[in-house]
Structure 1
Amino acid sequence: MTSRHLTPDFAVAPQIEPEDFDALAQAGFTTVIDNRPDAEVEPTYRSDMMAERAARAGLSYHYLPIVPGQLGPDQVARFREILDSSTGPVLAYCRSGTRSATAWALGQAGDRPADEILTAGRNAGYDLSHLAPMLRG
């Protein structure tokens, strides 16, 4: 599993494996956000299976599916709520990490300067420049 930190307490990753939850807990993560819709994945990666594995590792797990190109304000708000209520570092994942990084970026708008958000994305390997008008707006 490859995770990319956008902040010291938030990272994104491409699809994780069911056996990655123990390593995530050992790395200090306390919360995992699954942004990958069940319709996109094989049965072993579906949210009910991943939630079970997360619970066994002692991690908080949240299923917040984001269909490509359909990230809405309610999902951004829920993503932000999960981050704000977390008791420690959070990892969010989807197919490539881009949807998770985008949800984070939009949720940070107004609280962090747009350039800081864009730089965090770029440093993690995600080009979020298309979000600049929304982050500055």
Structure 2
Amino acid sequence: MTQFRKIDDRFYASPQISADDIAAAAKLGITAIVNNRPDGEDADQPEGDTIAAQARAAGLSYVAIPVTHAGIGQGQVDAMLAAVQDANGPVLAYCRSGTRSTMLWALAAAKRGDPPAVIASKAAQAGYDVSPIRQMIDMLSAGRAES
């Protein structure tokens, strides 16, 4: 069973999930799964379509927002923001370790207008360090404040 790390009331991050994890997520009240891993990253990882089918069978929505070694772009930030806002409850996002999912959440939260210090604190309490993208968080948050 994979450990889900609660970032806040609307968002959990996790390493790679399995079918058993989807059932556990549904029992926690999670309503949406976000896949931040590209297919084929590891030979033994389940394909996104498999996770999507299992999620939908459990009554959860599913969206794929893969983050590769190329980094995170504005389109991915916008997609994560939409996934969290459109969900009817908490979201579980996963990647290899949960780090990419947390970083993408942090950027989406900054774009939404959450204060950078609060974002960093929530991530840290869940065991994730967003300091490598702190400048981007600050910029997105500042851009939101000017709008």
TM-score, reference length from structure 2: 0.88
Alignment of 1:52-91 (within 5 A): 52-91=53-92
Instruction: Say if 1:33 and 1:91, in contact at 8 Å, map to a contact too.
Output: yes
Structure 1 distance, partners of 2:78, 2:45, is 28
Instruction: Say if 2:10 and 2:84, in contact at 8 Å, map to a contact too.
Output: no
Structure 2 distance, partners of 1:63, 1:17, is 15
Share of identical aligned residues, percent? Answer: 38
| Alignment match, 1:7 | 8
| Alignment match, 2:143 | none
Structure 2 distance, partners of 1:61, 1:21, is 11
Measured after TM superposition, the shift of residue 44 of structure 1 is 6.0
| Alignment match, 1:39 | 40
Measured after TM superposition, the shift of residue 121 of structure 1 is 0.9
Structure 1 distance, partners of 2:26, 2:42, is 23
Instruction: Say if 1:32 and 1:90, in contact at 8 Å, map to a contact too.
Output: yes
Measured after TM superposition, the shift of residue 68 of structure 1 is 2.8
Q: Is the deviation greater in 65-74 or in 26-35?
A: 65-74
Structure 1 distance, partners of 2:70, 2:16, is 18
**Helix, strand or coil for the counterpart of 1:109?**
helix
| Alignment match, 2:26 | 25
Measured after TM superposition, the shift of residue 21 of structure 1 is 1.0
Structure 2 distance, partners of 1:42, 1:56, is 24
Q: Is the deviation greater in 65-74 or in 99-108?
A: 65-74
For 2:124, the aligned partner's letter is R
Structure 1 distance, partners of 2:102, 2:44, is 24
Alignment of 1:111-126 (within 5 A): 111-126=113-128
Measured after TM superposition, the shift of residue 84 of structure 1 is 0.6
TM-score, reference length from structure 1: 0.94
**Helix, strand or coil for the counterpart of 1:88?**
coil
For 2:25, the aligned partner's letter is L
Residues 60-80 of structure 1: per-residue CA shift (max 9 Å, x gap): 011111103421111111111
Measured after TM superposition, the shift of residue 133 of structure 1 is 1.6
Measured after TM superposition, the shift of residue 38 of structure 1 is 0.3
